[in-house]
A = this chain, B = another copy of it.
Amino acid sequence: MGRTDPPSATSQLLELYRAMRLVREAEERLGALFADGEIPGFIHLSIGQEAVSVGVAAALQQHDTLASNHRGHGHAIAKGLDLDRFFLEILGKRDGYCRGRGGSMHVADMTVGMLGANGIVGAGLPIAVGSALAHKLRRTGHIAVVFFGDGAMAEGVLHESLNLAQLWTLPVLFVCENNGWSEFTEAARQLATDPQRMAAAYSMRALQVDGNDVVAVAAAARMAVAQIRAGEGPCLLECKTRRVRGHYEGDAQKYRDAGDIATALRNDPLVRCEVQAIAAGAPQETIDAIKAEIADRVDAAVATARSGAPPAPVDAFADVYSPTHELPS
């Protein structure tokens, strides 16, 4: 088998930057669309946390499966979802991923193993555990990943899921996106524990990483994934980050002092990655070109989404159950 040159550190950095830029651009556009009343319901942005989804996704393969949560745009885009269908869904259109039935909190794409965002805090945890069980039994060679917040740490299924995964040596990566907040309350006021100590309780391998450093996240994720894929059982990866926006768009964040937001803003993972890339020799024009290219991609997706047709009730009603099929004898 021939060998190509390993991609240079610079090109790797640029790939990560490009991926983060895509998440950022998409979410900023979502924020604007929401403010303009073009998005029904509510949306939770992961702005400032892109290094987590992108860094972890960099360690994954297409058919690795992923269970996400309410703040799942980054997970979805990083996992490789089609941008048009992503925006179509969030705008509630017929050709969206969920045919307009789910919206932001339910984006899914089975073709790339994205098992869905989830409106129930903690619910993705056992889903990922079960998906990992399927990978193991079906010997797919794939793994399952779940993203959950620090607030989700308090749910009972966290414990049940960590225990089950460790007990059965399942190929699952638990990614705790520790952004300091659980809605309008500091997660620290909700937890007498933390991800590292919880993992330790099950003798589960665990890593902690600066979640705003995409290179560090990618490196940690690659290490964890390699071990998981090698059959060594689950791992918990804690990514320390900060929520930049409100819990959902429209949240005035009166409960939060300005300093907290300012700190979060100062530590922008995209800026950090950009600085690193330039330091590694990437020309500013390349960065600018990426920005422009991605802005165009998002423009195009938004335009497609805006002009999308609304879904028809009759189709939705017909899709509650699978089409009936022949019974075996």
Contacts and interface: CB of A to CB of B under 8 A. Distances in A.
Interface of A: 154-160, 162-163, 166-167, 189-193, 197-198, 200-204
B203 A201 contact: no
28 contacts: A154-B160, A154-B163, A155-B156, A155-B160, A156-B157, A156-B158, A156-B160, A158-B159, A159-B159, A159-B160, A162-B192, A163-B191, A163-B192, A163-B193, A166-B192, A166-B193, A167-B189, A167-B190, A167-B191, A167-B192, A192-B202, A192-B203, A193-B201, A193-B202, A193-B203, A197-B200, A197-B201, A198-B201
Residue of A154, A159, A200 contacting most chain B CB atoms (<10 Å)? A159
A36 to B, nearest CB: 40
Nearest to A199: B201
A202 to B, nearest CB: 4
Given A156-B156, A197-B200, 15 more contacts: A154-B160, A155-B160, A156-B157, A162-B192, A163-B191, A163-B192, A163-B193, A166-B192, A167-B189, A167-B190, A167-B191, A193-B202, A197-B201, A198-B201, A200-B201
A226 to B, nearest CB: 22
Contacts of A193: 163, 166, 201-203
A157 B154 CA distance: 10
A161 B120 CA distance: 20
Contacts of A191: 163, 167
Contacts of A190: 167
A123 to B, nearest CB: 12
Nearest to A168: B192
Nearest to A167: B192
A171 to B, nearest CB: 15
Shortest Cβ-Cβ A-B pairs, 5 listed: A156-B156, A159-B159, A166-B192, A201-B201, A192-B202
A198 B162 CA distance: 12
Nearest to A157: B156
Nearest to A188: B167
A197 B197 CA distance: 9
A212 to B, nearest CB: 26
A167 B182 CA distance: 16
A201 to B, nearest CB: 4
A14 to B, nearest CB: 40
Contacts of A160: 154-156, 159
Nearest to A163: B192
Nearest to A204: B192
A278 B167 CA distance: 45
A247 to B, nearest CB: 21
A234 to B, nearest CB: 10
A190 B202 CA distance: 12
